[in-house]
Amino acid sequence: MTATQTRFRPDRQLTVRMLVTMFLLGLLYIAFIAALVALFKSWILVVVIAAGLLAAQYWYSDKIALFAMHAHEVSAQEQPRLHGVVDRLCAKADMPKPRIAISHMDMPNAFATGRNADHAVLCVTTGLLRRLETEELEGVLAHELSHVAHRDVAVITIASFLGVLAGLLVRFAFYSELFGGRRNDQNTALLLALIMTVSVVVYVISFLLIRALSRYRELAADRAAAILTARPSALASALTKVSGDIARIPTEDLRTAQPFNAFFFTPALGDGATLYNLFSTHPTLERRLAQLAKISVQLGEPA
């Protein structure tokens, strides 16, 4: 869970946070599996369902994300500027080049996904390419590549699986109670209520753990990108520009993209976002800019 195989700066605090998050989620798995066994009364069925969903999310997360964002892979001939920037960054970071994809959305954003550096895909929207200068684009793409190098993309993908599974089980228990309540005896109704309660608790805890990890990993990616490119000001400029433009994107488009907020460069949130610090997948813009300003001073970057 480190970036020691690349030239991206390792982040031990990020590694520790990922390990702690996975450990705590592992404890939740134990309670959750017990609830599943109580519901289905079959260890085999539980293992098949859980393993199948986890495998699908882990092995096909890149394809799922690209499909949901209406993105497609592009060649160097189709996007020479984008491929050129990624080529330079990968050479500088000494890491494998990911597959490159484009999403034809006006919302300016980018994300990286995939289970490891050899199976990663880097996706940018046409809105991002249209708005950013090359140095700003380099900062954003370095940020996304650092997620791959630090392997936190895979950790977030695995961690989010528990929340997805809990959410599915809540719906299953709810509809079972709603449509089958009259046919169920009292013990079955109590069991469904207990499972729904456990599922809700698991979902809430995993939700908060993932978001706490996600906020820190964004700061870690900003730091790593700023140091690799030696241009914190370019990344800060991109952050300011993208965050301001996202607020002007139609609400309907933002809602479509919000399920992937944990993977985005900046969250798809409008001006009406509330409870930001606790529930957001990203730290505040002010905190990110302050960190980049500090790094700029440390690197002695000219104004």
Q: In this structure, are residues 101 and 71 in contact, taking their beta carbons and an 8 Å threshold? A: yes
d(CA 297, CA 303): 9
Q: Which of 144, 252, 286, 301 is catalytic?
A: 144
Indicate the pairing of strand 110-113 with strand 99-103. Answer: unpaired
Tell me the backbone φ, ψ of residue 136, rounded to 5 degrees: -65, -45
Length of the chain: 303
**218 a known binding residue?**
yes
Long-range contacts, 240-244 (Cβ 8 Å, 24+): 240/285, 240/289, 241/108, 241/131, 241/132, 241/136, 242/108, 242/109, 242/128, 242/131, 242/132, 242/140, 242/266, 243/285
**133 a known binding residue?**
no
Vertex 113: Cα angle to 144 and 124 (nearest 5): 55
Instruction: Assign 248 to helix, strand or coil.
Output: coil
Q: Is 144 annotated as catalytic? A: yes
**143 a known binding residue?**
yes
Q: Where are the beta strands (DSSP E) in the chain?
A: 71-73, 99-103, 110-113, 121-125
Binding-site entries: 143, 147, 218
Binding-site entries for Zn(2+): 143, 147, 218
- Active site positions, annotated: 144
